[in-house]
Amino acid sequence: MDLLWPGFLFLLGLIPLIVAAYVWMLRRRRRFAVHYSSLSLVREALPRHARLRRHLPFVLFMLALLSLMMAFARPVAIVSVPAGRATIILAMDVSRSMCSTDIAPNRLETAKAAALSFIRRQEPTTQIGIVAFAGYAELIQPPIGDQEVLEDAVLSLITGRRTAIGSAILKSLAALAEIDQSVAPIVTGPTPGLQPTAVPKGAYAPSIIVLLTDGASNQGPLPLEAAQEAVDRGVRIYTIGYGTEEGGVMDCGGALRENDWFGGRSFGGGAYRRAIDEPTLKQIADRTGGAYYSAESAGELQEVFESLPTYLITKNEIMEISVGFTAIGALLVA
Protein backbone atom coordinates (compact mmCIF):
# COMPACT_ATOMS: atom_id res chain seq x y z
CA MET A 1 0.00 0.00 0.00
CA ASP A 2 1.19 3.49 -0.86
CA LEU A 3 -0.13 6.98 -0.12
CA LEU A 4 -0.88 9.68 -2.70
CA TRP A 5 -1.07 12.47 -0.09
CA PRO A 6 1.29 11.31 2.69
CA GLY A 7 1.48 14.86 4.06
CA PHE A 8 -1.93 14.38 5.69
CA LEU A 9 -0.38 11.86 8.06
CA PHE A 10 0.52 14.83 10.27
CA LEU A 11 -3.09 14.58 11.48
CA LEU A 12 -2.07 11.44 13.36
CA GLY A 13 -0.31 13.76 15.78
CA LEU A 14 -3.75 14.75 17.07
CA ILE A 15 -4.41 11.23 18.39
CA PRO A 16 -2.12 11.44 21.46
CA LEU A 17 -3.42 14.96 22.19
CA ILE A 18 -7.03 13.73 22.22
CA VAL A 19 -6.09 10.78 24.43
CA ALA A 20 -4.30 13.13 26.83
CA ALA A 21 -7.36 15.39 26.95
CA TYR A 22 -9.61 12.39 27.69
CA VAL A 23 -7.37 11.23 30.55
CA TRP A 24 -7.29 14.78 31.94
CA MET A 25 -11.10 14.95 31.91
CA LEU A 26 -11.35 11.64 33.78
CA ARG A 27 -8.97 12.83 36.47
CA ARG A 28 -10.80 16.15 36.73
CA ARG A 29 -14.05 14.34 37.44
CA ARG A 30 -12.46 12.49 40.36
CA ARG A 31 -12.03 15.78 42.19
CA PHE A 32 -15.82 16.10 42.41
CA ALA A 33 -16.51 12.44 43.25
CA VAL A 34 -18.69 11.47 46.19
CA HIS A 35 -16.80 9.84 49.08
CA TYR A 36 -18.02 6.50 50.34
CA SER A 37 -17.05 4.84 53.53
CA SER A 38 -16.26 1.61 51.77
CA LEU A 39 -15.13 1.14 48.16
CA SER A 40 -16.21 -2.49 48.31
CA LEU A 41 -19.82 -1.36 48.28
CA VAL A 42 -19.22 0.57 45.04
CA ARG A 43 -17.45 -2.38 43.41
CA GLU A 44 -20.31 -4.70 44.29
CA ALA A 45 -22.86 -2.24 42.93
CA LEU A 46 -21.13 -1.87 39.58
CA PRO A 47 -21.13 -4.75 37.08
CA ARG A 48 -17.75 -6.08 35.98
CA HIS A 49 -18.12 -4.88 32.42
CA ALA A 50 -19.07 -1.34 33.41
CA ARG A 51 -15.52 -0.03 33.02
CA LEU A 52 -15.22 -1.55 29.56
CA ARG A 53 -18.57 -0.08 28.50
CA ARG A 54 -17.51 3.27 29.91
CA HIS A 55 -14.40 3.55 27.76
CA LEU A 56 -15.54 1.58 24.69
CA PRO A 57 -17.24 4.56 22.95
CA PHE A 58 -14.05 6.61 23.23
CA VAL A 59 -11.94 3.74 21.85
CA LEU A 60 -14.31 3.31 18.90
CA PHE A 61 -14.28 7.06 18.31
CA MET A 62 -10.47 7.12 18.24
CA LEU A 63 -10.37 4.19 15.82
CA ALA A 64 -12.86 6.02 13.62
CA LEU A 65 -10.67 9.14 13.65
CA LEU A 66 -7.61 7.05 12.77
CA SER A 67 -9.42 5.46 9.83
CA LEU A 68 -10.67 8.82 8.53
CA MET A 69 -7.19 10.34 8.83
CA MET A 70 -5.80 7.48 6.75
CA ALA A 71 -8.51 8.17 4.17
CA PHE A 72 -7.31 11.78 3.92
CA ALA A 73 -3.86 10.47 2.92
CA ARG A 74 -5.48 8.69 -0.07
CA PRO A 75 -4.08 5.15 0.28
CA VAL A 76 -3.73 3.16 -2.92
CA ALA A 77 -3.18 -0.49 -3.68
CA ILE A 78 -1.13 -1.61 -6.68
CA VAL A 79 -2.65 -4.51 -8.56
CA SER A 80 -0.64 -6.33 -11.24
CA VAL A 81 -2.61 -7.65 -14.20
CA PRO A 82 -1.33 -9.26 -17.43
CA ALA A 83 -0.56 -6.73 -20.13
CA GLY A 84 -2.57 -7.39 -23.27
CA ARG A 85 0.11 -5.68 -25.35
CA ALA A 86 3.72 -5.49 -24.20
CA THR A 87 6.44 -3.19 -25.51
CA ILE A 88 10.17 -3.96 -25.42
CA ILE A 89 13.02 -1.64 -26.38
CA LEU A 90 16.29 -3.33 -27.32
CA ALA A 91 19.09 -0.83 -26.65
CA MET A 92 22.17 -2.19 -28.45
CA ASP A 93 25.73 -0.95 -27.88
CA VAL A 94 27.39 -0.37 -31.27
CA SER A 95 30.63 1.20 -30.05
CA ARG A 96 33.93 0.23 -31.70
CA SER A 97 34.69 -2.29 -28.97
CA MET A 98 31.76 -4.39 -30.20
CA CYS A 99 34.02 -5.32 -33.14
CA SER A 100 36.25 -7.36 -30.79
CA THR A 101 36.79 -10.89 -32.06
CA ASP A 102 37.00 -12.60 -28.66
CA ILE A 103 33.49 -13.89 -29.45
CA ALA A 104 33.62 -15.06 -33.07
CA PRO A 105 33.10 -13.60 -35.55
CA ASN A 106 32.87 -10.53 -33.32
CA ARG A 107 30.73 -9.25 -30.45
CA LEU A 108 28.39 -7.22 -32.63
CA GLU A 109 27.56 -10.03 -35.03
CA THR A 110 26.80 -12.50 -32.23
CA ALA A 111 24.72 -9.84 -30.47
CA LYS A 112 22.75 -9.34 -33.68
CA ALA A 113 22.15 -13.09 -33.94
CA ALA A 114 20.90 -13.24 -30.34
CA ALA A 115 18.63 -10.24 -30.90
CA LEU A 116 17.18 -11.78 -34.06
CA SER A 117 16.46 -15.04 -32.24
CA PHE A 118 14.81 -13.08 -29.44
CA ILE A 119 12.60 -11.16 -31.86
CA ARG A 120 11.44 -14.33 -33.63
CA ARG A 121 10.31 -15.91 -30.34
CA GLN A 122 7.99 -13.05 -29.35
CA GLU A 123 4.21 -13.11 -29.61
CA PRO A 124 2.55 -11.10 -32.41
CA THR A 125 1.08 -8.76 -29.78
CA THR A 126 4.55 -7.80 -28.53
CA GLN A 127 5.94 -4.58 -29.96
CA ILE A 128 9.73 -4.22 -30.15
CA GLY A 129 11.79 -1.11 -30.79
CA ILE A 130 15.50 -0.85 -31.58
CA VAL A 131 17.80 1.81 -30.12
CA ALA A 132 21.47 1.85 -31.15
CA PHE A 133 24.01 3.81 -29.14
CA ALA A 134 27.67 4.70 -29.33
CA GLY A 135 28.66 8.32 -28.64
CA TYR A 136 24.96 9.17 -28.85
CA ALA A 137 21.74 7.15 -29.05
CA GLU A 138 19.43 6.86 -32.03
CA LEU A 139 16.03 5.22 -32.42
CA ILE A 140 16.63 2.89 -35.36
CA GLN A 141 13.15 1.38 -35.34
CA PRO A 142 10.11 2.60 -33.34
CA PRO A 143 8.23 -0.19 -31.52
CA ILE A 144 6.46 -2.43 -34.02
CA GLY A 145 5.23 -6.00 -34.25
CA ASP A 146 6.47 -6.66 -37.80
CA GLN A 147 9.34 -9.13 -37.35
CA GLU A 148 10.72 -8.66 -40.86
CA VAL A 149 11.09 -4.92 -40.35
CA LEU A 150 12.76 -5.52 -36.99
CA GLU A 151 15.19 -8.03 -38.50
CA ASP A 152 16.22 -5.52 -41.16
CA ALA A 153 16.78 -2.89 -38.46
CA VAL A 154 19.02 -5.22 -36.45
CA LEU A 155 21.03 -6.30 -39.50
CA SER A 156 21.65 -2.66 -40.44
CA LEU A 157 23.51 -1.82 -37.20
CA ILE A 158 27.03 -0.45 -37.68
CA THR A 159 29.59 0.73 -35.16
CA GLY A 160 30.45 4.22 -33.93
CA ARG A 161 32.69 5.87 -31.39
CA ARG A 162 32.43 6.05 -27.61
CA THR A 163 29.61 4.79 -25.33
CA ALA A 164 26.62 6.78 -24.04
CA ILE A 165 24.55 4.48 -21.82
CA GLY A 166 22.60 7.35 -20.25
CA SER A 167 21.58 8.63 -23.68
CA ALA A 168 20.42 5.12 -24.63
CA ILE A 169 18.13 4.95 -21.59
CA LEU A 170 16.61 8.39 -22.25
CA LYS A 171 16.09 7.64 -25.95
CA SER A 172 14.41 4.35 -25.05
CA LEU A 173 12.09 6.07 -22.57
CA ALA A 174 11.19 8.68 -25.18
CA ALA A 175 10.33 5.91 -27.67
CA LEU A 176 8.07 4.22 -25.10
CA ALA A 177 6.35 7.51 -24.25
CA GLU A 178 5.39 7.92 -27.91
CA ILE A 179 3.16 4.85 -27.88
CA ASP A 180 2.38 4.25 -24.18
CA GLN A 181 0.32 6.88 -22.37
CA SER A 182 1.33 5.42 -19.00
CA VAL A 183 4.95 6.51 -19.63
CA ALA A 184 5.48 10.25 -19.22
CA PRO A 185 7.51 11.94 -21.99
CA ILE A 186 11.11 12.91 -21.42
CA VAL A 187 11.49 16.60 -20.55
CA THR A 188 14.75 18.32 -21.44
CA GLY A 189 15.98 21.60 -20.00
CA PRO A 190 15.37 23.30 -16.64
CA THR A 191 11.60 22.95 -16.54
CA PRO A 192 10.85 21.43 -13.11
CA GLY A 193 7.16 22.25 -13.46
CA LEU A 194 6.93 19.78 -16.33
CA GLN A 195 8.63 16.90 -14.54
CA PRO A 196 6.36 13.86 -14.23
CA THR A 197 4.93 12.78 -10.91
CA ALA A 198 6.79 9.66 -9.82
CA VAL A 199 4.67 6.54 -9.91
CA PRO A 200 4.01 4.81 -6.57
CA LYS A 201 6.75 2.45 -5.46
CA GLY A 202 6.21 -0.99 -6.95
CA ALA A 203 4.12 0.24 -9.88
CA TYR A 204 5.44 -0.66 -13.32
CA ALA A 205 4.49 0.19 -16.87
CA PRO A 206 3.75 -2.67 -19.32
CA SER A 207 7.06 -1.93 -21.03
CA ILE A 208 10.69 -2.89 -20.44
CA ILE A 209 14.11 -1.87 -21.73
CA VAL A 210 16.80 -4.46 -22.49
CA LEU A 211 20.20 -2.74 -22.61
CA LEU A 212 23.25 -4.61 -23.92
CA THR A 213 26.75 -3.14 -23.64
CA ASP A 214 30.35 -4.31 -23.52
CA GLY A 215 31.83 -1.17 -21.96
CA ALA A 216 31.41 1.77 -19.60
CA SER A 217 29.64 5.05 -20.28
CA ASN A 218 32.08 7.79 -21.30
CA GLN A 219 29.79 10.33 -22.92
CA GLY A 220 26.35 11.85 -22.48
CA PRO A 221 24.14 11.91 -19.35
CA LEU A 222 25.15 9.90 -16.32
CA PRO A 223 23.59 6.43 -16.52
CA LEU A 224 22.22 6.47 -12.96
CA GLU A 225 20.56 9.85 -13.49
CA ALA A 226 18.94 8.49 -16.64
CA ALA A 227 17.91 5.36 -14.72
CA GLN A 228 16.10 7.58 -12.20
CA GLU A 229 13.93 8.83 -15.06
CA ALA A 230 12.97 5.21 -15.68
CA VAL A 231 12.23 4.71 -11.97
CA ASP A 232 9.93 7.76 -11.97
CA ARG A 233 8.01 6.25 -14.90
CA GLY A 234 7.89 2.69 -13.62
CA VAL A 235 9.92 1.28 -16.53
CA ARG A 236 12.11 -1.71 -15.72
CA ILE A 237 15.57 -1.99 -17.28
CA TYR A 238 17.30 -5.34 -17.80
CA THR A 239 21.03 -4.84 -18.38
CA ILE A 240 23.45 -7.23 -20.08
CA GLY A 241 27.24 -7.02 -19.73
CA TYR A 242 28.80 -8.66 -22.78
CA GLY A 243 32.39 -9.72 -23.54
CA THR A 244 35.28 -11.82 -22.23
CA GLU A 245 37.95 -10.81 -19.76
CA GLU A 246 40.73 -11.54 -22.27
CA GLY A 247 39.26 -9.42 -25.03
CA GLY A 248 40.27 -9.73 -28.67
CA VAL A 249 41.40 -7.87 -31.75
CA MET A 250 38.93 -5.30 -33.02
CA ASP A 251 37.85 -6.05 -36.58
CA CYS A 252 35.12 -3.73 -37.90
CA GLY A 253 35.66 -4.77 -41.48
CA GLY A 254 38.23 -2.06 -42.28
CA ALA A 255 41.47 -0.47 -41.12
CA LEU A 256 41.30 1.21 -37.70
CA ARG A 257 42.84 4.59 -37.12
CA GLU A 258 44.61 5.54 -33.93
CA ASN A 259 41.82 7.91 -32.92
CA ASP A 260 39.23 5.16 -33.23
CA TRP A 261 40.13 3.78 -29.78
CA PHE A 262 37.58 4.85 -27.19
CA GLY A 263 36.25 3.45 -23.93
CA GLY A 264 38.94 0.82 -23.41
CA ARG A 265 42.61 -0.05 -23.59
CA SER A 266 44.55 -1.66 -26.42
CA PHE A 267 46.91 -4.52 -25.70
CA GLY A 268 49.20 -6.59 -27.91
CA GLY A 269 48.67 -4.62 -31.10
CA GLY A 270 44.88 -4.36 -31.03
CA ALA A 271 43.44 -6.55 -28.29
CA TYR A 272 40.53 -4.96 -26.43
CA ARG A 273 39.91 -6.22 -22.93
CA ARG A 274 36.52 -6.27 -21.27
CA ALA A 275 35.81 -2.91 -19.64
CA ILE A 276 32.23 -3.38 -18.46
CA ASP A 277 31.05 -1.12 -15.65
CA GLU A 278 29.21 -3.92 -13.85
CA PRO A 279 28.48 -1.96 -10.63
CA THR A 280 26.63 0.71 -12.62
CA LEU A 281 24.73 -1.83 -14.73
CA LYS A 282 23.68 -3.68 -11.57
CA GLN A 283 22.52 -0.44 -9.92
CA ILE A 284 20.49 0.48 -13.00
CA ALA A 285 18.74 -2.89 -12.91
CA ASP A 286 18.20 -2.88 -9.14
CA ARG A 287 16.79 0.64 -9.00
CA THR A 288 14.33 0.09 -11.84
CA GLY A 289 13.16 -3.36 -10.76
CA GLY A 290 14.96 -5.23 -13.55
CA ALA A 291 17.91 -7.62 -13.42
CA TYR A 292 21.55 -7.74 -14.50
CA TYR A 293 22.98 -10.53 -16.67
CA SER A 294 26.54 -11.32 -17.68
CA ALA A 295 27.44 -13.11 -20.93
CA GLU A 296 30.93 -14.10 -22.09
CA SER A 297 30.04 -16.22 -25.12
CA ALA A 298 27.49 -16.45 -27.89
CA GLY A 299 25.79 -19.34 -26.12
CA GLU A 300 25.54 -17.45 -22.84
CA LEU A 301 24.10 -14.43 -24.62
CA GLN A 302 21.46 -16.63 -26.26
CA GLU A 303 20.57 -18.03 -22.82
CA VAL A 304 20.29 -14.52 -21.38
CA PHE A 305 17.86 -13.45 -24.09
CA GLU A 306 15.86 -16.65 -23.58
CA SER A 307 15.62 -16.02 -19.82
CA LEU A 308 14.35 -12.44 -20.10
CA PRO A 309 10.95 -12.38 -18.36
CA THR A 310 9.01 -11.05 -21.33
CA TYR A 311 6.22 -13.57 -20.69
CA LEU A 312 5.68 -11.99 -17.26
CA ILE A 313 5.28 -8.43 -18.46
CA THR A 314 2.36 -6.98 -16.53
CA LYS A 315 0.81 -3.61 -16.11
CA ASN A 316 0.13 -2.19 -12.67
CA GLU A 317 -3.22 -0.62 -12.02
CA ILE A 318 -3.37 1.82 -9.11
CA MET A 319 -6.59 1.38 -7.12
CA GLU A 320 -7.43 4.04 -4.55
CA ILE A 321 -8.84 2.43 -1.39
CA SER A 322 -9.54 5.56 0.67
CA VAL A 323 -13.27 4.86 0.34
CA GLY A 324 -12.75 1.70 2.36
CA PHE A 325 -11.12 3.62 5.21
CA THR A 326 -13.92 6.19 5.05
CA ALA A 327 -16.58 3.48 5.30
CA ILE A 328 -14.85 1.87 8.28
CA GLY A 329 -14.57 5.25 10.00
CA ALA A 330 -18.25 6.01 9.43
CA LEU A 331 -19.24 2.60 10.76
CA LEU A 332 -17.17 3.07 13.91
CA VAL A 333 -18.63 6.54 14.47
CA ALA A 334 -22.14 5.10 14.17
Average pLDDT over residues 54-60: 78
Residue 211 phi/psi, 5-degree rounding, is: -110, 120
CA gap 327, 257 in Å, rounded: 73
Sorting pLDDT into bands at 50, 70 and 90, what band is 315? low
Q: What is the pLDDT of residue 93?
A: 96
Average pLDDT over residues 102-123: 92
3-state secondary structure of 91: strand
DSSP-derived secondary structure for 241-306:
EE--SS-EEB-SSSPPPGGG--SS-EETTTEE-----HHHHHHHHHHHT--EEEE-SHHHHHHHHH
What domains are defined for the chain? 2-78+321-333 (no CATH), 84-312 (3.40.50.410)
Residues in the chain: 334
Average pLDDT over residues 20-46: 63
CA gap 136, 152 in Å, rounded: 21
3-state secondary structure of 193: helix
Examine the pLDDT at 38 and tell me if it is beyond 80: no
| pLDDT tens per residue, range 192-226 | 445 666 777 777 888 899 999 998 999 999 999 99
Helix 278-288 × helix 223-233 angle, to 10°: 10
